[in-house]
Chains A and B, each alone.
Chain A
Amino acid sequence: MKKLICILCVLVLLTGCVERKYIERLGIITVIGYDLLEEGFLEGTLIFFQFDPNANSVSQIITSRANSAKGIRQDANLKSSKQLVSGQLRLAVFGSQLAEKGIMRVTDTLARDAAVSDLLYMTIAEEDAKAILSSNKMEDAADIGNYLNSMIEKNIQNEVLPYSTLHQFQHDYYDLGRDPILPMLNLEDGKPVLRHLALMQDDRMVGKLPVKKGFYLKLIESRFEAGHLEVGLPREKFKPYFKSNRNHEEIDQMFVTFDEIKSKSQLVLNSPDSLSFNLDITLEGRILEISDDLKIQDPKVVKLLEEEFASLIEDEIKSVVEVFKENQVDPIGFGQIYNKERPLKEKGEWRKLMSDISVDTNVKTRIVRHGIIK
């Protein structure tokens, strides 16, 4: 018996080895970019860490071509001395051409691979993914991947960008009555910046929305904990309350910046037949900056500010919803609410109804504080 156990143990030790992945022999992919080439080929751009005692930079970039996402990895492996692994993948960038055709082709591979994190950020490049990943303007960040990743992460935390992880994308993609929305990366003077949000019909990009309008998207969809907004209000209405005239007469708008915005929204379907929705938003904020010298301690002024602010938000929401209707996309999830009343059978069903919806918006705003001076 004892001998048998010994023999078994030795056998296990001898034969039971598993594939080892020593960190110094790996190329650890952190960012991956996909572009669609003319012939249907995929071009992948991989940024990865590799650790060599003599290397100047730990970050490397490789471009490779293949028919499939896995093929790209295999092709890239032929171009590197390290074994490429995707366990630390943080960011995926899809070229606009690919995005217009549909990104599920590659996203499915990412989702299927248990090594890939669900917290991977998904973005779409306004041009080529390769161009963005090849950019070398990245402030003081260690490498471009790090820079892009922290830029997106920070903006999601600041509630500027929608939460756009791989999980969220899949969630919205599969959900009935809802479409994903992803941030877009653009190059300005060779530096990657965030300017637009990509409106997706399922996995295809069909339109863009400026990042600033993303505020209203979030306002409708969920709640703010500490939002931030800069608006231009019509200057004429506030004229009587100016304390002094330090103002620039040539501009007909008064710019007000709100921050620490807290909001709550309630979206209800009035009747499933008429497709009319009712949207109530209550919003609290603090004035951080006013371009004019306003008698802010006057309750009337505050009241007026609140009213103007509310009507401006109502208008903006209307325009955002119009954009959605035009593009037949639903990143807010009107369809989900419809689904509660009349269960949808498939995604296409809501897409047809989407253009007929009407939203009645009521916004209530409240200004809580206006800085430390009157």
Chain B
Amino acid sequence: MRRSVQKKKKASDTFPCTIEELKKQLSSMLQDSPDLNFSTYTLGQKRIIVFYFTYQINKEQLHRSILDTLLASQDKTWDAKMIQNEVPLASSTLHDTLISVAKELIQGGVGIYVEEDEQPLTYYIPEQARRAVSRAENESLVLGPQIAFTESMVTNLNIIRWRLDTPELKTEKLIIGKEIPTEIRIVYLKNISNDDLVNTVRQRLEDLDVNDVMDSNVVAQLIEDRSTSIFPQLLTTELPDRFCNSIINGKVGIMVDKSPTVLITPATLFSFLESTEDIYFRWNIGTFLRIMRLVAMFLSILLTPAYVAALSFHVEVIPSSLLVSLGQSRANVPFPPVFEALLLELLIELLREAGARLPTKVGQTMGIVGGIVLGQAAVKAGFTSNILIIVVALSALASFTAPSYMMGGAIRVIRFPMIILSGLWGLLGIFLGLSFLIIHLLKVSSLGTPYLSPLYPFHFADLDNSIVRLPWSRSNRRPTVNETKKPVKFSQKEAKKKRDIDE
């Protein structure tokens, strides 16, 4: 009895009320939106009002399921319970307050209120603007699945369920954002992922105190360990196969609604240099590609600084066969090598940025104009030496081989301080920068996992699938850094008897 009194008290703020009253209150609550549609029907003894945002709901469902049922017989006298029973839709909710009705409307609900009833009823039949699942644009692959995530969480979950159809897959739901709430899912395999890791992820996300979340990249920046670092600490990807592969190996994924990229954690430095294509290739080619990317990263950071250091300080180091051609190409240039190198690096960065901002068709032309015409002109005008053009182009190219756009960006930015250091203190500056970088990388961690793993802490077995790739028959362990519940994927076949020739 007491309970019903309380309930009545609470509900009595608005309900029961007349239809006109409801209309007025709801309109003012929703800023008198012109898109709010009210339709009133008189059925039996009572008037019923149906209201919704015209573009937020699926009209097909509204007509077929709700209105058809309601208007089937004009004599029935409806109440909320009856509607729930008769309308062939599952997603109905009863509300006590008007504000919760308004929230549901915004997200794509249809409100139904029977005049002077206790509670209004809503059906959730949203229609969201969403694009179809399409090819991956940013992480393009030659081999393997081409499908990419979209902005719609439902679609993304659908893809993941399709790839990982095991009951062990757990997708925990969290809502973050005080002003504009966003749905976030923590995705992992219950029987594989480390519980501590999942708890850490959950803890970090729950502790977030933010108004809104723009994108998964923002979430990544909000929950990472060391926000002062230049290195990305959570892996973002738009490829479902990459995401699922990580999850099978014991990592934890984070999905953010409205974002076409998902997050994988923990990420190590080497995971940013991996591509799923390495896995689709044969193991030896995959190994080659991985080592090549690692070398490319070093080249990209060190090549231009080495040029600057050699030409400004260490003439001794230049090979005698290169000395004359280097010297002659430098003779025309009015700037010191540091400035020259910075200028050219900046040029390349500008080209890249312009290419990324412009529409695809124009962007391509930009690249050609910038690369060929400007380069030629710069050399002709005596702005830069032509050897530097090769050096800078090589290091720019090398930085683009990083499969993660984030990591590529980090590498490109690191180059600038390195060039300045080498311009100031030559080789000493380069090694200073390099040492700093290594110490810094040692300090970085990704949700508690060391960033440089498996190099430090050294796990010999983990070198497989991070720096090299072994044949599938030998690669039977999940990475030890993930501390999975099942470290072994399958037992090594015992049929490894050494056979003699022709046996």
Direct contact of A and B (CB under 8 A): yes
Q: Given A115-B316, A142-B324, are A17 and B424 also a contact pair (CB < 8 Å)?
A: yes
Is A138 on the interface with B (CB-CB < 8 A)?
no
Q: Which of A18, A117, A142 has the most CB of B within 10 A?
A: A18
Within the complex, the shortest CB–CB distance from A307 to chain B, in Å, comes to 47
Is B328 on the interface with A (CB-CB < 8 A)?
yes
Q: Which of A46-54, A180-188, A267-275, A320-328 contacts B (4 or more CB under 8 A)?
A: A46-54
Task: Give a binary string over B309-327; 1 marks a CB under 8 Å from any A CB, 0 the rest.
Answer: 0011111101010011011
Q: Given A51-B327, A51-B328, A53-B332, are A23 and B315 also a contact pair (CB < 8 Å)?
A: yes
Please determine whether B312 and A21 come into contact, CB atoms closer than 8 angstroms.
yes
Please determine whether A18 and B326 come into contact, CB atoms closer than 8 angstroms.
no
- Which of chain A's residues have a CB closer than 8 A to the CB of B312? 20-23
- Which of chain A's residues have a CB closer than 8 A to the CB of B318? 23, 88
Is B331 on the interface with A (CB-CB < 8 A)?
yes
Task: Give a binary string over B282-324; 1 marks a CB under 8 Å from any A CB, 0 the rest.
Answer: 0000000000000000000000000000011111101010011
Q: A22-B311, A28-B315, A115-B316 are in contact. List 4 more A-B contacts (CB 8 A).
A: A22-B337, A23-B312, A23-B326, A24-B327
Q: Given A20-B336, A22-B336, are A58 and B324 also a contact pair (CB < 8 Å)?
A: yes
Is A90 on the interface with B (CB-CB < 8 A)?
yes
Task: Give a binary string over A6-49; 1 marks a CB under 8 Å from any B CB, 0 the rest.
Answer: 00000001001110111110101010000000000000000001
Is A193 on the interface with B (CB-CB < 8 A)?
no
Query: Given the complex of chains A and B, what is the CA–CA distance between A13 and B423 in angstroms?
Result: 11
List 29 A-B pairs, Cβ < 8 Å: A16-B424, A17-B424, A18-B313, A18-B425, A20-B336, A21-B315, A22-B330, A22-B336, A23-B311, A23-B312, A23-B318, A23-B327, A24-B327, A28-B327, A30-B320, A49-B324, A49-B327, A51-B328, A52-B331, A53-B331, A53-B332, A58-B328, A87-B314, A88-B318, A88-B320, A90-B320, A115-B316, A117-B316, A142-B324
Q: Given A16-B424, A18-B426, are A51 and B331 also a contact pair (CB < 8 Å)?
A: yes
Is A85 on the interface with B (CB-CB < 8 A)?
yes
Query: Given the complex of chains A and B, what is the CA–CA distance between A142 and B325 in angstroms?
Result: 12
Within the complex, the shortest CB–CB distance from B153 to chain A, in Å, comes to 41
How many A residues touch the partner, as a band? 20 to 34
Please determine whether A20 and B313 come into contact, CB atoms closer than 8 angstroms.
yes
Interface residues of B in 218-239 (CB under 8 A from A): none
- Which of chain A's residues have a CB closer than 8 A to the CB of B336? 20, 22
The chain A residue with its CB closest to the CB of B337 is A22
The chain B residue with its CB closest to the CB of A86 is B316
- Which of chain B's residues have a CB closer than 8 A to the CB of A28? 315, 323, 327
- Which of chain A's residues have a CB closer than 8 A to the CB of B323? 28, 49, 88
The chain B residue with its CB closest to the CB of A87 is B316
Is B160 on the interface with A (CB-CB < 8 A)?
no
Please determine whether A26 and B331 come into contact, CB atoms closer than 8 angstroms.
no
- Which of chain B's residues have a CB closer than 8 A to the CB of A53? 331-332, 382
- Which of chain B's residues have a CB closer than 8 A to the CB of A115? 316
Query: Given the complex of chains A and B, what is the CA–CA distance between A49 and B323 in angstroms?
Result: 9
Is B333 on the interface with A (CB-CB < 8 A)?
yes
Query: Given the complex of chains A and B, what is the CA–CA distance between A237 and B328 in angstroms?
Result: 62
- Which of chain A's residues have a CB closer than 8 A to the CB of B331? 24, 51-53
Please determine whether A24 and B313 come into contact, CB atoms closer than 8 angstroms.
no
Which B residues form the contact surface with A (CB < 8 A)?
311-316, 318, 320, 323-324, 326-328, 330-333, 336-337, 382, 424-426
Q: Which of B313, B316, B333, B424 has the most CB of A within 10 A?
A: B316
Please determine whether B333 and A88 come into contact, CB atoms closer than 8 angstroms.
no
The chain B residue with its CB closest to the CB of A90 is B320
Query: Given the complex of chains A and B, what is the CA–CA distance between A22 and B332 in angstroms?
Result: 13
Query: Given the complex of chains A and B, what is the CA–CA distance between A58 and B331 in angstroms?
Result: 11
Q: Specify which of B327, B332, B382, B424 is in contact with A58 (CB 8 Å cutoff).
A: B327
The chain A residue with its CB closest to the CB of B428 is A18
- Which of chain B's residues have a CB closer than 8 A to the CB of A16? 424-425
Query: Given the complex of chains A and B, what is the CA–CA distance between A87 and B324 in angstroms?
Result: 14
Within the complex, the shortest CB–CB distance from B307 to chain A, in Å, comes to 11
- Which of chain B's residues have a CB closer than 8 A to the CB of A52? 331
- Which of chain A's residues have a CB closer than 8 A to the CB of B324? 49, 58, 142
Query: Given the complex of chains A and B, what is the CA–CA distance between A23 and B426 in angstroms?
Result: 13
Query: Given the complex of chains A and B, what is the CA–CA distance between A115 and B426 in angstroms?
Result: 15
- Which of chain A's residues have a CB closer than 8 A to the CB of B426? 18
Query: Given the complex of chains A and B, what is the CA–CA distance between A117 and B323 in angstroms?
Result: 15
- Which of chain A's residues have a CB closer than 8 A to the CB of B330? 22-24, 51
- Which of chain B's residues have a CB closer than 8 A to the CB of A21? 312-313, 315
Query: Given the complex of chains A and B, what is the CA–CA distance between A85 and B311 in angstroms?
Result: 13
Q: Specify which of A24, A90, A117, A142 is in contact with B333 (CB 8 Å cutoff).
A: A24
Within the complex, the shortest CB–CB distance from A294 to chain B, in Å, comes to 45
Query: Given the complex of chains A and B, what is the CA–CA distance between A115 and B324 in angstroms?
Result: 19
- Which of chain B's residues have a CB closer than 8 A to the CB of A90? 320
The chain B residue with its CB closest to the CB of A142 is B324
Query: Given the complex of chains A and B, what is the CA–CA distance between A127 and B312 in angstroms?
Result: 39
- 3 pairs of A and B residues whose beta carbons are closest in the complex: A87-B316, A51-B327, A51-B331
The chain A residue with its CB closest to the CB of B319 is A88
Query: Given the complex of chains A and B, what is the CA–CA distance between A23 and B308 in angstroms?
Result: 10
- Which of chain A's residues have a CB closer than 8 A to the CB of B315? 21, 23, 26, 28, 85, 87-88
The chain A residue with its CB closest to the CB of B429 is A18
Interface residues of A in 90-124 (CB under 8 A from B): 90, 115, 117
Q: Which of A23, A49, A117 has the most CB of B within 10 A?
A: A23
Within the complex, the shortest CB–CB distance from A8 to chain B, in Å, comes to 15
- Which of chain B's residues have a CB closer than 8 A to the CB of A13? 424
Within the complex, the shortest CB–CB distance from A65 to chain B, in Å, comes to 26
Query: Given the complex of chains A and B, what is the CA–CA distance between A324 and B426 in angstroms?
Result: 49
- Which of chain B's residues have a CB closer than 8 A to the CB of A20? 312-313, 336
The chain A residue with its CB closest to the CB of B336 is A22
Query: Given the complex of chains A and B, what is the CA–CA distance between A16 and B432 in angstroms?
Result: 14
- Which of chain A's residues have a CB closer than 8 A to the CB of B382? 53
- Which of chain A's residues have a CB closer than 8 A to the CB of B320? 30, 88, 90
The chain B residue with its CB closest to the CB of A18 is B425
Query: Given the complex of chains A and B, what is the CA–CA distance between A17 and B423 in angstroms?
Result: 10
The chain A residue with its CB closest to the CB of B330 is A24
Query: Given the complex of chains A and B, what is the CA–CA distance between A83 and B382 in angstroms?
Result: 23
- Which of chain B's residues have a CB closer than 8 A to the CB of A18? 313, 424-426
Query: Given the complex of chains A and B, what is the CA–CA distance between A29 and B450 in angstroms?
Result: 50
Within the complex, the shortest CB–CB distance from B282 to chain A, in Å, comes to 41
Query: Given the complex of chains A and B, what is the CA–CA distance between A53 and B334 in angstroms?
Result: 11
Q: Which of A24, A88, A117, A142 has the most CB of B within 10 A?
A: A24
- Which of chain B's residues have a CB closer than 8 A to the CB of A26? 315
Query: Given the complex of chains A and B, what is the CA–CA distance between A85 and B424 in angstroms?
Result: 20
Query: Given the complex of chains A and B, what is the CA–CA distance between A93 and B424 in angstroms?
Result: 36
Query: Given the complex of chains A and B, what is the CA–CA distance between A115 and B316 in angstroms?
Result: 7
Query: Given the complex of chains A and B, what is the CA–CA distance between A207 and B389 in angstroms?
Result: 54
Within the complex, the shortest CB–CB distance from B274 to chain A, in Å, comes to 36
Query: Given the complex of chains A and B, what is the CA–CA distance between A52 and B420 in angstroms?
Result: 26
Query: Given the complex of chains A and B, what is the CA–CA distance between A117 and B319 in angstroms?
Result: 12
Query: Given the complex of chains A and B, what is the CA–CA distance between A24 and B337 in angstroms?
Result: 10
- Which of chain A's residues have a CB closer than 8 A to the CB of B425? 16, 18
Task: Give a binary string over A235-253; 1 marks a CB under 8 Å from any B CB, 0 the rest.
Answer: 0000000000000000000
